[in-house]
Structure 1
Amino acid sequence: MMKKFLIGTILSLCALSAVANELSQYTAIRVQRAHHLAQEDKLKEAISTLKALDLSRSYDQAFVARMLGIFYWQNEQIKPAIKQLEIAVNSGLLEDEQAWQTRKMLADMLLNEQQFSKALPYYYDLSKAVPKTQKAHDIWLRIAQSHYQLSQWNKVLFAMARYEKLGQPDEIAPLSIKLSAELELNKWAPAISTIKRLIAIEPERVEWWRQLVALYLRVDDDKRALDSMALAKLNGVALNQDDLKLLAQLYGKRGIPERAAKVLGELKDLDSDSQLKAQQATYWQMAKEWQKSIASWRVAAKLDGQYYWNLSQLLVQEGHYQDALVALDNVTGRKADVALVKTRAYYKLKRIEDALAHAKRANEIEPSTQAESWVKYLSQLRKAKASQNS
Structure 2
Amino acid sequence: MMHKKLTMLFSASVLCGVLAAGVPVANAQDINYNLPPAEEIQQRKDNRRNLTVSERVGRRIMSAFELYSEKEDIKGAIVELEAIEPREAFDQAYVDRFLGNLYAADNRIEDAYKRVNRAADADVLGWSDQASALKLAADLSLQLEDYRSALNYYGKWLQFTGEGNGDVFLRIANSYYELRQFDKVIRPADLAIQYYEKPNKNPYVLKVASYYERKMYNDAIKVLESGLEIFPAEKSWWNQLGMIYMLEEQLDKALQTLEIAYLAGYFEKENQFKALIQLYSNNGISYDSARLMVNHLNSGDIEKTARNYQSAASNFEMAREYSRAAEMYGLAAKLADEREDRAEYYRKKGTAHLRAQEYTEAAQSYLEAIDQGFDELGPVYMSLTEAYFYQNNFNEALKYVQEAQKYDGQRRNARSWESYIRSKASNRGISL
Same fold per TM (> 0.5)?
yes
Assess if the C-alpha contact under 8 Å between 2:100 and 2:115 holds in 1: no
For the pair 1:316 / 2:354, whether they are aligned, the reply is yes
Paired position in structure 1 for 2:378: 336
For the pair 1:75 / 2:111, whether they are aligned, the reply is no
Assess if the C-alpha contact under 8 Å between 2:286 and 2:319 holds in 1: yes
Assess if the C-alpha contact under 8 Å between 1:14 and 1:32 holds in 2: no
AA partner of residue 314 (structure 1) = A
- How do residues 220-259 of structure 1 correspond to structure 2 at under 5 angstroms? 220-259=249-288
For the pair 1:179 / 2:221, whether they are aligned, the reply is no
Residue 210 of structure 1, CA deviation: 4.4
Paired position in structure 2 for 1:327: 365
Distance 1:105 1:344 in 2: 81
Distance 2:403 2:250 in 1: 51
AA partner of residue 362 (structure 1) = A
Paired position in structure 2 for 1:140: 169
TM-score normalised to structure 2 length = 0.70
Cα distance change on mapping 1:168 and 1:336 into 2, 3 Å: same
2:81 to 18, 39, 47: 47
Residue 122 of structure 1, CA deviation: 2.5
Paired position in structure 2 for 1:101: 132
For the pair 1:151 / 2:180, whether they are aligned, the reply is yes
Residue 217 of structure 1, CA deviation: 2.5
AA partner of residue 386 (structure 2) = R
Relative contact order higher in (CA < 8 Å, ≥ 6 apart)? 2
AA partner of residue 316 (structure 1) = L
AA partner of residue 372 (structure 1) = R
Distance 1:110 1:320 in 2: 71
Paired position in structure 1 for 2:339: none
Residue 95 of structure 1, CA deviation: 7.1
Distance 2:187 2:308 in 1: 46
Assess if the C-alpha contact under 8 Å between 1:65 and 1:84 holds in 2: no
| Secondary structure class of the residue paired with 1:51 | coil
- Which deviations, in whole Å up to 9, do the C-alpha atoms of 1:6-47 show, x marking residues without a partner? 2112236369xxxx99548xx654454344334433746863
| Secondary structure class of the residue paired with 1:319 | coil
Residue 160 of structure 1, CA deviation: 1.4
Cα distance change on mapping 1:258 and 1:28 into 2, 3 Å: same
Distance 1:114 1:350 in 2: 78
AA partner of residue 111 (structure 1) = L
Distance 2:167 2:304 in 1: 54
RMSD: 4.0
Residue 315 of structure 1, CA deviation: 3.1
Assess if the C-alpha contact under 8 Å between 2:208 and 2:223 holds in 1: yes
Residue 94 of structure 1, CA deviation: 5.2
Residue 228 of structure 1, CA deviation: 3.1
Paired position in structure 2 for 1:112: 143
Residue 256 of structure 1, CA deviation: 0.9
AA partner of residue 93 (structure 2) = R
Bigger Rg, structure 1 or 2: 1
Distance 2:292 2:99 in 1: 62
AA partner of residue 290 (structure 1) = Y
Paired position in structure 1 for 2:24: none
Distance 2:378 2:109 in 1: 83
Paired position in structure 2 for 1:33: 59
Assess if the C-alpha contact under 8 Å between 2:323 and 2:353 holds in 1: no
Assess if the C-alpha contact under 8 Å between 1:175 and 1:198 holds in 2: no
Assess if the C-alpha contact under 8 Å between 2:17 and 2:125 holds in 1: no
Percent sequence identity over aligned pairs: 22
Residue 285 of structure 1, CA deviation: 2.0
Paired position in structure 2 for 1:290: 322
| Secondary structure class of the residue paired with 1:255 | coil
Residue 148 of structure 1, CA deviation: 3.0
Cα distance change on mapping 1:107 and 1:226 into 2, 3 Å: same
Paired position in structure 2 for 1:5: 8
Distance 2:148 2:278 in 1: 46
Distance 1:302 1:287 in 2: 23
2:92 to 55, 65, 76: 65
Distance 1:180 1:109 in 2: 24
Q: Which moved more, 1:42-51 or 1:222-231?
A: 42-51
Cα distance change on mapping 1:106 and 1:65 into 2, 3 Å: farther
| Secondary structure class of the residue paired with 2:273 | helix
TM-score normalised to structure 1 length = 0.77
AA partner of residue 368 (structure 1) = R
Assess if the C-alpha contact under 8 Å between 2:307 and 2:332 holds in 1: yes
Assess if the C-alpha contact under 8 Å between 1:172 and 1:198 holds in 2: no
Paired position in structure 2 for 1:364: 406
| Secondary structure class of the residue paired with 1:154 | helix
Give structure 1 stretches of 5+ with no counterpart.
Answer: 56-60
Distance 2:118 2:400 in 1: 98
Query: Matched residue pairs, number?
Result: 373
AA partner of residue 121 (structure 1) = N
Cα distance change on mapping 1:155 and 1:377 into 2, 3 Å: same
Distance 2:332 2:117 in 1: 71
Assess if the C-alpha contact under 8 Å between 1:43 and 1:71 holds in 2: no
